[in-house]
């Protein structure tokens, strides 16, 4: 029996306003941060664009000048904040649509951004991926900068790499071919030439598929082969655009004259090459807004690095920093698990983690299930999913997430055996599917010549017209049995039928021609409707998505973290990957693992170490998070210099108080000196602080570094503050910890006994 709580209620409760006012967001009526109705009314004014935003989102939306950094936790409405920022600027006449360039990392994200901007009345803004924006510029300027026709762009470089290997007389198996291709891509986005590959790979701790010298040889041969064949790859698009903008000042100025304002989403995933391109687009201006979360950095193997996000205030001392921590997506139970995962994290990204605060009503606790083997785990998930769908949960609101694509087949088979429809994430884009193209042609024809179509003789409303037209393309009121291509085609047509129903409900009186125009705009923006089917996806491809119910499967040692994750940095990235998976769930989260791979196999597996202290029965609770972090706004200084910069960051680059060198390392910035410069730390005070910290950590059930890191304790021991203001200025303290621990720390610094951890007023 499935509890009624599993069934998702849709629409506002009786008597509740559909569009809450600005004044009532804090009482639970804030417009959802990550959800919106399918066809919302376009705001009637610039001020109306701001309706329903919480205070931090509103600050993002109205901070239209100078550098802005938005640190946005999972589910906190970052896309909402930045699209409303752009729309508000456009609707208020502050920004010209054609002067704004918003860049992100996937076509889906760019399409979603364009769709939201259109719904907010800000059509005409360029929202593209880095590659798409660069390719557009390269195609336009190629005749002027280089002359002749631009080389052909190859979609897949694997065959070229295979040909390069053959030319070098190096035999690569399928896995080595894939991994070598990835190494070439990494080299190019980190701007590493073949001659420097071996040294760069060693510095980065890369797990290389062949000897570094062989990879360098293959890389050089690959580049030669491209030149011989007159083709370029996707990384070349960025490299060549950077080269043109660096070498041709006139072209760079033309691009800068076109684009005056830049917005970069998922800034924690930017590569050195993309950062260089962004700098060339900007020139000496600072109208830049970046959005990211270091705790969601999961693509470092491709060259992505959160350093640019974490160092933003160092490079832009006058920046305004806004932290979004109100989680509108997930229940407190899901958020508690997510915070607990990060509370155990180490490294620089962990030092800048955001502790989420759920804004939703309580829900069920995450479920943890152990199975004897992988097929049993898949069958167990399929049974639960079938029962959920039977209880009324839409299949499109359920996802099964796994670490590697190789795990997919077992779950495809289990869902097919259970009669559950599914879709694979990463498949062909919706509007590119043949059945969707044919359906569009049929609907367009019916809109033009419907009066002569006997199918439409007895139907008058728009949804009935669409059902009638698509019945000729294979749509039926009931889905076909089983799975496979026939079911996938039906799901695509059913998505169009559902879209027509929503469109007619939102726009009474809309005609078939109106719907066709809407489909054309959506196709241009790649703003696809929802296809009803359980989503099967890898954790990497699930980023940016969300579902009511998430099954995290295979959460066992060897898979999470993956076997080949050996260094501390790699282990921490695996932890962040699991964090991304957890935060995809809105209400129901199922976490499972199996003890062996196949039936009858040796039960040698154990649950992931990341769950230690978090799942019931796993012993210590030393990783549990606290009661939640705080959002907030840190304003950069204005031209008049009258605004003080709050805690944690400075208005000018941090410099060593001993030798004067500019500091960039986070640990050194906490100490305000170089690691190797002389220290005037009171060793006795430092030891007393460490002893006190151990007591606090033990009593609160969290790791010691969550109270204060070693570097922060060293900074306190060196400064020996005697009043709250002096303590608050030490990086790593901050308002929350000052309030919680300030009185104790000041007492210890004064040589007195701490009084129990109460804070300062």
Query: Can you give the CATH number for the domain in which 265 is found?
Result: 3.40.50.300
For the chain, what is the largest distance between any 2 Cα atoms, rounded to a whole number of angstroms? 94
Domain boundary among 291, 324, 357: 324
Contact yes or no for 555/592 (Cβ under 8 A): yes
Confidence of residue 606 (pLDDT cuts 50, 70, 90): very high
The predicted pLDDT at position 446 comes to 85
| Residue 161 placed within a domain | yes
Distances in Å between the Cα of 318 and the Cα atoms of 6, 274, 502, 635, 636 are: 47, 23, 45, 8, 4
Instruction: Residue 74: name the closest of 355, 431, 473 by CA.
Output: 355
CA distance 573 to 544: 17
Pair of tokens at residue 291:
């959005």
The reply to whether 541 and 605 lie within a common domain is: yes
The reply to whether 228 and 246 lie within a common domain is: no
Quick one: what percent of the chain has pLDDT higher than 70?
Answer: 82
- In sequence order, what E strands does 98-166 have? 100-104, 126-129, 152-153
The predicted pLDDT at position 242 comes to 94
CA distance 406 to 747: 57
437 or 622: which carries more pLDDT confidence? 437
Confidence of residue 656 (pLDDT cuts 50, 70, 90): low
Domain boundary among 324, 342, 376: 324
**75 annotated ligand binder:** yes
Contact yes or no for 71/356 (Cβ under 8 A): no
Instruction: Residue 216: name the closest of 200, 190, 197 by CA.
Output: 197
DSSP letter assigned to residue 321 = E
* Mean pLDDT calculated for residue range 215-230: 92
Contact yes or no for 605/595 (Cβ under 8 A): yes
Pair of tokens at residue 273:
């090459």
**76 annotated ligand binder:** yes
Instruction: Residue 70: name the closest of 323, 278, 270 by CA.
Output: 323
Please check the confidence at residue 530 and state whether its pLDDT lies above 70.
no
Q: Which domain holds residue 117?
A: 47-134+239-324
The reply to whether 108 and 172 lie within a common domain is: no
The predicted pLDDT at position 350 comes to 78
By DSSP bridging, strand 288-292 and strand 68-72 are: parallel
The reply to whether 517 and 591 lie within a common domain is: no
Task: Give the chain's domain count.
Answer: 5
Confidence of residue 627 (pLDDT cuts 50, 70, 90): very low
The predicted pLDDT at position 301 comes to 78
The total of other beta-carbon atoms located within 10 Å of residue 22's CB is: 14
- Put residue 169 in one of left, alpha, beta given phi > 0 → left and psi -120 to 50 → alpha: left
The predicted pLDDT at position 27 comes to 35
The predicted pLDDT at position 521 comes to 77
**What is the pLDDT of the chain when averaged over all its residues?**
82
| Residue 657 placed within a domain | no
Instruction: Residue 223: name the closest of 299, 133, 140, 151 by CA.
Output: 151
> Residue 17 in 3-state DSSP?
coil
**323 annotated ligand binder:** no
Contact yes or no for 49/87 (Cβ under 8 A): yes
The predicted pLDDT at position 11 comes to 36
| Residue 265 placed within a domain | yes
Q: Which of 120-129, 453-462, 578-587 has the lowest mean pLDDT?
A: 453-462
Domain boundary among 462, 497, 525: 525
* Mean pLDDT calculated for residue range 183-196: 90
* Mean pLDDT calculated for residue range 387-404: 92
Pair of tokens at residue 707:
């109270």
The reply to whether 170 and 196 lie within a common domain is: yes
CA distance 22 to 16: 15
* Mean pLDDT calculated for residue range 187-205: 89
The reply to whether 394 and 418 lie within a common domain is: yes
The predicted pLDDT at position 748 comes to 92
Question: CA torsion angle for 754, 756, 759, 761 (degrees, to 10)?
Answer: -80
Confidence of residue 206 (pLDDT cuts 50, 70, 90): confident
Give the position of tokens 């559909």: 18
The reply to whether 130 and 244 lie within a common domain is: yes
The reply to whether 438 and 519 lie within a common domain is: yes
**292 annotated ligand binder:** no
The reply to whether 249 and 210 lie within a common domain is: no
Confidence of residue 739 (pLDDT cuts 50, 70, 90): confident
The reply to whether 404 and 269 lie within a common domain is: no
**37 annotated ligand binder:** no
Q: Element (H or E) spanning 521, and its range?
A: helix 512-525
Quick one: what percent of the chain has pLDDT higher than 90?
Answer: 37
Distances in Å between the Cα of 702 and the Cα atoms of 624, 708, 713, 735, 741 are: 6, 11, 17, 19, 15
CA distance 273 to 264: 14
Question: From the CA atom positions of the chain, what is the Rg in Å?
Answer: 28
CA distance 101 to 95: 11
The predicted pLDDT at position 424 comes to 78
| Residue 223 placed within a domain | yes
**468 annotated ligand binder:** no
The predicted pLDDT at position 243 comes to 93
Contact yes or no for 83/77 (Cβ under 8 A): no
CA distance 157 to 153: 10
DSSP letter assigned to residue 27 = G
Please check the confidence at residue 449 and state whether its pLDDT lies above 80.
no
* Mean pLDDT calculated for residue range 603-609: 91
The predicted pLDDT at position 709 comes to 83
* Mean pLDDT calculated for residue range 143-172: 89
632 or 493: which carries more pLDDT confidence? 493
Instruction: Residue 236: name the closest of 283, 184, 288 by CA.
Output: 184
CA atoms within 13 A on the CB side of 435: 20
The predicted pLDDT at position 737 comes to 83
> Residue 118 in 3-state DSSP?
helix
The predicted pLDDT at position 490 comes to 80
Alpha helix (H) ranges present in 230-311? 234-247, 249-258, 272-282, 307-310
CA distance 226 to 221: 9
CA distance 17 to 31: 10
The reply to whether 595 and 545 lie within a common domain is: yes
Please check the confidence at residue 650 and state whether its pLDDT lies above 60.
no
pLDDT in tens, 292-333: 998 898 888 778 888 899 889 888 888 999 999 999 999 999
| Residue 297 placed within a domain | yes
Beta bridge partners of 399: 535, 550
Residues in the chain: 761
Angle formed by the axes of helices 272-282 and 249-258, nearest 10°: 80
> Residue 593 in 3-state DSSP?
strand
The predicted pLDDT at position 77 comes to 92
* Mean pLDDT calculated for residue range 133-155: 90
Q: Which of 119-133, 243-257, 467-481 has the lowest mean pLDDT?
A: 467-481
**74 annotated ligand binder:** yes
* Mean pLDDT calculated for residue range 60-77: 92
CA distance 515 to 197: 53
| Residue 315 placed within a domain | yes
Pair of tokens at residue 278:
């962004």
Please check the confidence at residue 456 and state whether its pLDDT lies above 50.
yes
Confidence of residue 644 (pLDDT cuts 50, 70, 90): very low
Pair of tokens at residue 584:
């995809």
CA distance 309 to 269: 9
**641 annotated ligand binder:** no
Q: Which of 24-38, 252-266, 420-434, 448-462 has the lowest mean pLDDT?
A: 24-38
| Residue 246 placed within a domain | yes
- Distant-in-sequence, close-in-space partners of 65: CB < 8 Å, separation ≥ 6: 287
Confidence of residue 191 (pLDDT cuts 50, 70, 90): confident
Note the pTM of the prediction, 2 decimals. 0.67
CA distance 608 to 321: 35
pLDDT in tens, 466-506: 888 888 888 888 777 544 566 667 878 888 888 888 888 88
CA distance 653 to 312: 11
Calculate ∠ Cα 492-497-503, nearest 5°. 125
The predicted pLDDT at position 678 comes to 64
Distances in Å between the Cα of 177 and the Cα atoms of 207, 208, 210, 407 are: 14, 12, 10, 21
The predicted pLDDT at position 524 comes to 67
**CATH code: domain of residue 712:** 1.10.150.80
Contact yes or no for 699/593 (Cβ under 8 A): no
The predicted pLDDT at position 713 comes to 86
The predicted pLDDT at position 676 comes to 63
CA distance 143 to 128: 23
The predicted pLDDT at position 723 comes to 86
The reply to whether 419 and 451 lie within a common domain is: no
CA distance 265 to 733: 29
DSSP letter assigned to residue 19 = S
The predicted pLDDT at position 453 comes to 63
| Residue 175 placed within a domain | yes
């Amino acid at each position: 029996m499935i509890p009624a709580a599993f069934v998702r209620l849709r629409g506002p409760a009786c008597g509740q306003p559909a569009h809450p006012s600005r004044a009532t967001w804090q009482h639970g009526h804030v417009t959802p941060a990550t959800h919106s109705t399918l066809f919302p009314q376009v705001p009637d004014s610039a001020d109306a664009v701001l309706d329903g935003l919480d205070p931090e989102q509103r600050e993002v939306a109205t901070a239209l000048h100078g550098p802005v950094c938005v640190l946005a936790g999972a589910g906190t409405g970052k896309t909402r904040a930045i699209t409303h920022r752009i729309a508000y600027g456009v609707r208020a006449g502050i920004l010209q649509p054609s002067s704004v360039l918003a860049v992100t990392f996937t076509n889906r994200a760019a399409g979603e951004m364009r769709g939201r901007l259109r719904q907010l009345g800000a059509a005409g803004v360029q929202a593209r991926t880095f590659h798409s924006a660069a390719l557009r510029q390269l195609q336009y300027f190629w005749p002027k900068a280089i002359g002749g026709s631009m080389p052909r762009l190859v979609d897949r470089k694997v065959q070229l790499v295979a040909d390069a290997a053959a030319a070098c007389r190096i035999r690569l198996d399928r896995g080595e071919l894939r991994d070598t291709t990835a190494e070439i891509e990494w080299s190019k986005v980190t701007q590493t030439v073949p001659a420097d590959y071996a040294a760069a790979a060693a510095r980065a701790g890369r797990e290389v598929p062949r000897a570094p010298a062989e990879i360098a040889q293959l890389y050089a041969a690959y580049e030669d082969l491209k030149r011989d064949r007159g083709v370029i790859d996707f990384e070349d698009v960025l490299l060549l655009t950077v080269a043109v903008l660096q070498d041709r000042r006139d072209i760079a100025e033309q691009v800068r004259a076109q684009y005056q304002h830049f917005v970069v989403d998922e800034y924690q995933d930017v590569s050195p090459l993309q950062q260089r391109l962004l700098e060339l687009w900007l020139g000496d201006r600072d109208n830049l807004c970046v959005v990211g979360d270091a705790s969601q950095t999961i693509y470092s193997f491709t060259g992505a690095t959160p350093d640019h996000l974490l160092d933003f205030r160092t490079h832009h001392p006058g920046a305004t920093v806004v932290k979004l921590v109100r989680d509108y997506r997930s229940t407190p139970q899901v958020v508690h698990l997510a915070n607990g995962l990060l509370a155990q994290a180490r490294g620089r990204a962990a030092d800048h983690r955001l502790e989420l605060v759920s804004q939703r009503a309580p829900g069920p606790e995450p479920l943890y299930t152990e199975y004897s083997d992988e097929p049993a785990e898949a069958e167990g998930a399929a049974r639960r999913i079938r029962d959920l769908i039977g209880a009324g949960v839409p299949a499109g609101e359920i996802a099964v997430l796994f670490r590697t694509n190789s795990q997919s087949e077992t779950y495809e088979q289990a869902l097919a055996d259970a009669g559950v429809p599914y879709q694979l994430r990463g498949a062909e884009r919706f509007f590119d599917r043949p059945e969707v193209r044919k359906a569009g042609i049929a609907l367009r024809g019916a809109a033009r010549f419907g009066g002569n179509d006997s199918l439409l003789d007895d139907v008058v409303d728009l949804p009935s017209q669409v059902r009638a037209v698509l019945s000729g393309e294979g749509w039926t009121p009931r889905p076909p049995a089983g799975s496979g291509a026939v079911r996938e085609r039906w799901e695509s047509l059913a998505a169009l039928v559902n879209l027509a129903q929503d469109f007619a409900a939102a726009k009474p009186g809309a005609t078939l021609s109106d719907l066709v125009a809407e489909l054309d705009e959506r196709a241009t923006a790649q703003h696809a409707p929802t296809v009803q089917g359980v989503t099967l996806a890898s954790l990497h491809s699930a980023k940016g998505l969300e579902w009511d119910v998430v099954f995290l499967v295979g959460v066992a040692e060897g898979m999470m973290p993956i076997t080949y994750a050996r260094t501390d940095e790699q282990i921490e990235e695996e932890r962040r990957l699991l964090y991304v998976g957890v935060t995809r769930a809105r209400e129901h989260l199922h976490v499972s693992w199996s003890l062996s791979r196949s039936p009858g196999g040796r039960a040698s597996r154990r649950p992931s170490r990341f769950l230690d202290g978090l799942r019931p029965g796993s012993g210590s609770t030393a990783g549990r998070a606290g009661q939640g972090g705080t959002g907030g706004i840190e304003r950069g200084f204005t031209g008049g210099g009258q605004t003080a910069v709050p805690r944690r960051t400075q208005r000018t680059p941090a410099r060593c108080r001993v030798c004067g060198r500019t500091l960039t390392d986070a640990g050194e910035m906490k100490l305000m000196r170089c690691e190797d410069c002389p220290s005037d730390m009171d060793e006795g005070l430092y030891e007393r602080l460490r002893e006190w910290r151990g007591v606090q950590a033990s009593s609160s059930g969290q790791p010691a570094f969550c109270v204060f890191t070693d570097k922060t304790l060293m900074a306190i021991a060196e400064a020996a503050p005697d009043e709250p203001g002096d303590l608050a200025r030490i990086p790593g303290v901050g308002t929350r910890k000052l309030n919680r621990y300030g009185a104790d720390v000041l007492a210890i610094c004064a040589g007195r006994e701490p009084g129990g951890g109460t804070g300062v007023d």
